[in-house]
Amino acid sequence: MQFGCLVGEKFCFPNEKSLVIFVCYFSAFVLHGILVTASRKADNTYPYNTVTVVMITEILKLMVATLLYVKDNSFQELLRVIVRDKKVLVLYVVPASLYCLYNNLQFVNLAVYDPTTYYLLLQFRVVTTGIVFQILFKKTLSRLQWLSLVLLTIGCVVKQIKHDTHMRDVVSFGGQSLSLHLNANLLHILLQVFCSCFAGVYTEFLLKGEKSSHVPLMMQNVFMYLDSIICNMCVLAYTGDLLSAFTTESINSILQPTVLLVTLNQTAIGIITSLFLKSLNSILKTFASALELMFTAVLCWYIFGIPVDIFTFIAIVIVCLATFLYSLNPVVNPAPTRQTRDSDMEQDGKQNGPGV
């Protein structure tokens, strides 16, 4: 076993299956940044309605989660669980609305930042995730764990210093309006950071908490995606694109190889994320995101010719150091409740397996 030293109850990964989920998770996110960047036009705009893409992705996620559930259960059972656990369906409105905002902000921010900078700036979420994790799970992080989280944040600051310096140079030629645009971009990143950390920890809380842990994983995914579709419908209604989003022209603009790959990859990310939060935890999720940096930087340099400057290199080194420190003292997953254990035994090899 090449990765045997990482697997065990006291290590980062409780079992080999969780290690596979981890690798699939960060690989899918690396691919996502590259695909979205490749789908842009030369002027950094998208030749398709991004909200429509998010909506279709959520519909695909719902279809996949439903098929995985009814594979071992009847459709009538699915409807019965929805009626029986309608309170859980309501609870998922919170993370669904946050993920809806997060998914739409991805396109906004990747139109402004290159993928490496984008993923570096998203690492601002790590400290916030640590705080929210402690509150919801009542689990205090150790000094070494906090040190690793702070180092991740420092890595983001190093990269942002370079980005701010570059933008100020541009502003001196472009005028005050570009400075205001820069502030708006940073606000979008911070908003996406908040959505990511709170939605991730809250979803983990629902997957493992006493109020909803008795609901099978794929059924909880069905709840999430039903709520997400409603949230995206509200976004389309608010922007006035509810009717135009599904015209023949809009659909044809999505039927491009790169855009279809974005949609399919996003669908896979949704299913893998639920498996990740069920098997691992939100803190390790932030480090998976950090590892995306190395692969994203190298691939973007090779594919798009985006240079890896000294600030980016230093930031990546700091993030790697933080990841190593965390691996010395990882967060141990919260002990499953009796309901959770019973549900897992019942669903083992049924709902969880095909999602990978």
7 backbone dihedrals φ, ψ, rounded to 5°: -105, 135
Structure tokens that stand for 49 in this block: 């309605």
pLDDT value, residue 251: 84
How many domains, in total, are found in the chain?
Answer: 1
Is residue 7 domain-resident?
Answer: no
Is residue 13 domain-resident?
Answer: no
From the list 285, 274, 280, the residue with the least C-alpha distance to 218 is: 274
3 state DSSP class of 141: coil
Is residue 96 domain-resident?
Answer: yes
pLDDT value, residue 319: 74
Is residue 296 domain-resident?
Answer: yes
pLDDT value, residue 155: 73
Helix runs in the chain, H state only: 16-38, 50-70, 75-84, 86-91, 93-110, 115-122, 125-137, 143-174, 176-208, 217-239, 248-254, 257-279, 282-304, 310-328, 338-347, 352-355
Cα separation, 266 vs 103, whole angstroms: 9
Cα separation, 207 vs 210, whole angstroms: 9
Gyration radius of the chain over CA positions: 20
pLDDT value, residue 355: 35
Is residue 125 domain-resident?
Answer: yes
Is residue 6 domain-resident?
Answer: no
pLDDT value, residue 287: 67
> DSSP secondary-structure letter at 223?
H
How many CA within 13 A on the CB side of residue 70?
14
Where the chain has pLDDT below 70, the residues are 1-14, 123, 126-127, 137, 156-157, 159-183, 281-283, 285-287, 289-291, 293, 323, 326-356
3 state DSSP class of 46: coil
pLDDT value, residue 282: 64
Is residue 11 domain-resident?
Answer: no
Residue 292, domain extent: 20-351
Is 304 in contact with 114 (CB distance < 8 Å)? yes
Instruction: Give this prediction's pTM.
Output: 0.70
From residue 58, how far is each of 130, 215, 225, 264 by CA, in Å?
Answer: 28, 20, 6, 10
Is residue 259 domain-resident?
Answer: yes
Cα separation, 9 vs 200, whole angstroms: 22
From the list 22, 24, 72, the residue with the least C-alpha distance to 284 is: 22
